[in-house]
Amino acid sequence: MSETFVEAFGPSGSDPLDSDWLGWLRRELALTHLREIRTAIMIGGAVLCVIISMTLQVPQLATSAYMVFFASKETKLLTKITGIGGIFVLTIGLVATLLLYKFSYGHPELRIAGMAITLFLGMWLSRVLVVGPLGFLLGFVIAVSQSVGEAAPSPEYLVRQILWLWVALTYAIALTVVLNLLFLPDAPKAAAPRPKPKSLLVPDAFTNPAHVHFALKVTFAAMFCYVVYEAIDWSGIHTAFITCTFIALESAEATLYKGTLRFFGCVIGGALALFTIVFLMPHMETIASLVVVVAFACAIAGWVATGSERISYAGLQMAFAFFYSIFQGYAPDTDLDNVRNRVVGILFGLVVTGLVFHYIWPERARIEPQTAQ
């Protein structure tokens, strides 16, 4: 994925700032048959998550709905691998965080150290593993689940919430895989399949210091944000922690590009959530009206998310901001604090990450002309 962001700065890349941005945007949002199907799958999956979670009162509805976007990939095989691998890693990560809480609950100094260590290992694994996203997910799940420990009133409550989180994530990922296997068209077979890797690690896993530098930079940025919002007692901007981990790439330029997509996606998703909360929520009386609104928002976010990697991340952030702003319980809620907090947290995370990647061990994007295919 990172190569795509780096290419955005190359002389042959279609940078909208250096060309006809309206034409570029029109090409990126062009209609295709596969895009229609993938968007419909995302809409259906998110709507089913709303119905299931609201009916059975499964917590973390926003997370379940977002997992539909996160786990939906371009092909059936890739979606299945992502889903199965994701559930496996999530299970290991949540079991590991429960074991860590056995020693760190009630001891902030141990919990914060554990967060930093697991996040560092996850970021390092994301660079050295052939299947890097699974290493990232493992470290991210443990670190984020450790970050909410202080808010739990008791160990029993904390354990219940972590177990419910596993349910919310697992059923949404499984649902997404099933929908894609049922309705996504089969991908054409490649003429020359890629050779299978001989090792789980990349060749320079233990010799390239850039991998360690990358993990240290992400860990420093994320933990700095965590310490700041906990110190000022503003845990509502915890999206800063998430932002630091999700936008981090190999170069400062690529990180900034991804951060820009995250910002604009968040603004659009937050605007949709703000409109819904102010003008629509007060008139909603049944789940049917909520389903219609969710389907409309998912159609916009899904259409962008199914585009090329130059814009798809913005679609994911539209869904993230919208879901986490409007799903505040099992009944309509007109509280606008969540929308404000999400946007402030993302902006804070963008600034911190940009400064860290610009001044600490900067890795500049290598600009190379694209060869003809």
- Neighbouring residues of 370: CB distance < 8 A, sequence distance ≥ 6: 7, 10, 12
pLDDT number for residue 371: 32
Is 290 a residue whose pLDDT tops 60? yes
Angle at 238 between CA 232 and CA 243, to 5 degrees: 125
Residue 310: both structure tokens together: 């130059």
pLDDT in tens, 212-229: 999 999 999 999 999 999
In angstroms, the Cα distances linking 101 to 12, 146, 155, 156, 282 are 50, 8, 9, 11, 40
Instruction: Indicate the domain borders of the chain.
Output: 2-21+29-186+206-359
Cβ count near 193 (within 10 Å):
7
Angle at 150 between CA 226 and CA 266, to 5 degrees: 45
Is 253 a residue whose pLDDT tops 80? no
Which segment of 226-235, 293-302, 340-349 scores lowest on mean pLDDT? 340-349
Per-residue pLDDT, averaged over 316-324, amounts to 89
Is 250 a residue whose pLDDT tops 70? no
Per-residue pLDDT, averaged over 326-351, amounts to 81
Global pTM? 0.83
Q: Which of 58, 48, 49, 57 is nearest to 163 (CA)?
A: 58
Which segment of 64-73, 186-195, 198-207 scores lowest on mean pLDDT? 186-195
Rounded Cα distance between 313 and 40, Å, is: 18
Per-residue pLDDT, averaged over 225-236, amounts to 92
Task: Return the HEC string of 80-122.
Answer: HHHHHHHHHHHHHHHHHHHHHHHHHCCCHHHHHHHHHHHHHHH
Which H or E element spans position 297? helix 287-305
